[in-house]
Amino acid sequence: MTKHELIGAFREWQERLASYRFAMAMLEVDAYADPPAAGADYRGVKRAVLAGEYRRVLMDEHMYAVTGELADLLGVDAPRDGAEAQCPSQTGTETAPESSSETEPFDEGDLAREVQLVLGELEKDRAVPREAFVRYEKALDISRREWLRARQEKDFAGYAPFLQKLVDAWLEITALRGGSGSLYDRMLDGHQPGWNTERYDRFFAEIRKRAVPLLREIGKAEPISTDFLHRLYPAEGQRRVMRRIADYLGFTEDWGKFGESAHPLTTGICRGDVRFTTKYRERDAAQGILSTVHETGHAWFFHNIAKKYEGTAIESTISAGLHESQSRLCENHFGRSLPFWQVIFPFLQAEFPEQLSGIDAERFYRAVNAVQPSPVRIEADEVTYPLHIMIRYELEKELLNASLPAADLEQAWNEKYREYLGIVPKDAAEGVLQDMHWPCAYFGYFPTYALGSAMAAQVYETLARELDVSTLLLERRFPELMQWLEARLQRFGNRYPAEELIRRVTGAEFSAEAYCGWLEKKYCGLYGICPEKLKG
């Protein structure tokens, strides 16, 4: 085949695969939209069949040969052993272009990167027999359904066998896919290429070194009053407020839609169709808003990926840490700021005048940023949030290394919360069943939340030097912040490895320094702590 014919065959194949991914994404959206329970088995079987068909098309021997030939012609290799190989067009120190034109062509450098990404995953997936893949898909479907039931009934013991089956199925898949390091290291690398337990252990050690003294000094300071946050804020009123907030954030119905689910999540169908869900907490309105801002960060990232990458591996394989950096940036650096609440608080106060009588925007802002240990990760403040992630990381290592059976997970979870945060969840729904990640086989994903927080802080330092963030937030020009992120980072999707893109945006190698410094500066100011005390 000529180069032109190889490219044509590859593009047609990728379009077919994108169509399957679209169908499965829509089924995932539906699964969290409270569909009729009586049809669960039927939907589960059909989803497994669809997944099997996707895999049949993916495993096409002819297309594997075509992809290999194309890789040879383009001079690219598949990433191996936890490191992202560089395409020829990615070497050097050139600055990524800032054009956001939807008519920009898909060039040979783009194609080389896509072939590299596809070939890397294909070589792993080819080692997995279809039977093992179908077993995993069935275990996944049952796990998700049983988690929804167990969470409602606060019944971890009844769910544990289904989680164990999913763990075993994913361990089998991971082993078959090959690679270096432990099976858990390979899972970590799957969500954040190049990261393993050794790197995460060092990363968390640095955060622990800086966050624990800060938390200790906050504990000695005068507490910030938060009682008014926990009055009754009916969900219906919150929904009306959220519509106004969505407008402020520039999230419009011509490209997005949001609803509700037991656990907030975002699904990018394509640039022009992004779905996300939020959750209203009637005893804490601020958390519902922050959840929405967080998911809007994910949504903007999906929406801002260059149109030329739509349906390609460059769009669908973005590292979890990079994606989380954009949602954590929106939540922590914009959504927890005083200028944000100076705009948003009047919406909330107009809807809930009795609950917020005598409260002003600054007092509300301080309450939103109060540091108080909580059993629920998505309700955690910025300082204790990394501890929630470390708990999950440590438990996950044991669970996936077979030293902690799923049946013992709830007890281990509660012990970790007592050790790290001095609290114990009141039940399984508030504790071990609170997150959707393990029931959905997102093993190795949790650490990327802390990694994303650190990446967000580093990107924000550059953004804040170039833009007047406070003025943009106060003047309701939030989309302009997203335009900066689109031009500098989001539009590229996975065109460049995450850490290379961070370096291109900030001019520095990734480190946790900006994150730790952000926490220390912000919370020393909020609590009146002398920074010198953190050095003792």
Return the half-sphere exposure (C-beta side, CA atoms, 13 A cut-off) of residue 408.
Answer: 11
- Bridge partners (DSSP) listed for residue 260: 278
What distance in Å separates the CA atoms of residue 269 and residue 275, rounded to the nearest whole number? 7
Helix (H) or strand (E) holding 529: none
Strands 256-260 and 266-270: unpaired
- 3 state SS of 188: helix
What distance in Å separates the CA atoms of residue 488 and residue 361, rounded to the nearest whole number? 32
Two tokens, residue 169: 């199925």
Two tokens, residue 354: 């009795």
- 3 state SS of 83: strand
Two tokens, residue 510: 């990734």
- Which residues are CB-neighbours of 81 under 8 A, at least 6 positions away? 179, 180
Q: Is 500 a catalytic residue?
A: no
Helix (H) or strand (E) holding 278: strand 273-278
Two tokens, residue 227: 């009682």
What distance in Å separates the CA atoms of residue 32 and residue 253, rounded to the nearest whole number? 20
Q: Compute φ and ψ for 306, nearest 5 degrees.
A: -50, 140
What distance in Å separates the CA atoms of residue 296 and residue 435, rounded to the nearest whole number? 19
**Cβ atoms 240, 350 nearer than 8 A:** no
Q: Is the dihedral of CA 245, 501, 263, 53 positive or negative?
A: positive
- Which residues are CB-neighbours of 31 under 8 A, at least 6 positions away? 43, 144
What distance in Å separates the CA atoms of residue 87 and residue 75, rounded to the nearest whole number? 8
Within 10 Å of residue 403's Cβ, how many Cβ atoms?
A: 9
CA neighbor of 452 nearest in space, from 512, 492, 379, 497? 512
The active-site residue out of 84, 172, 217, 295 is: 295
Two tokens, residue 28: 């995932």
Find the farthest-apart pair of alpha carbons in the chain and give their distance in angstroms, rounded: 75
- 3 state SS of 260: strand
* CA dihedral of 413, 419, 425, 428, whole degrees rounded to 10: 10
Catalytic residues: 295
